Amino acid sequence: MTKKSLGFWLIAAVVLILDRITKELAPGLPADGFTLIPGVIGLRYAENTGIAFSLLSGLPRLTGVLGLAIVIGGFVWLRNKEFVALPLTGLALMAGGATGNMLDRLIRGFVPDMIETLFVNFPVFNVADSCLTVGCVLVMISLLCRPQDWAKL
């Protein structure tokens, strides 16, 4: 195992652990939630049986199996690739987040969400969703700013 692949697995594992901890604590939130930073962010428990923005709601097992296929496919594709730090970090964040949400869909039949934006009307989300988003942004930045890093893939 190379130093880079160890970093990938460490980031993905930390994301998964943080996601699991927050999702275990989320059901204990007050029913109407509470404010962390007034006008900015709060915590409120919600259950999402779909994927992003509640698409495919009511089909958690299907979305879980699709998520499992994507996670496995991604790991198979990535296992022999060499990446520089930025895309590697982005892919690790995405792997940890996708694994966390996929496990919830398969085990619970829904994904617990708990982070609520108060400054804009936006769906409640979780740590895994945040890591997926940040990971995608990092990968996009690396694709736009350093396409030569992806040319050999």
- Name beta bridge partners: 117: 41
Catalytic residue among 19, 32, 104, 113: 113
Catalytic residue among 19, 32, 104, 129: 129
Identify the helix (H) or strand (E) that includes residue 112: strand 111-117
The total number of residues written for the chain in this structure: 153
For residue 149, indicate whether it is catalytic: no
Pairwise CA distance, residues 104 & 68, whole Å: 11
For residue 129, indicate whether it is catalytic: yes
Which residue has 């006008």 as its token pair?
39
Q: What are phi and psi of 47, to 5 degrees?
A: -115, 125
Q: Catalytic site residues? A: 113, 129
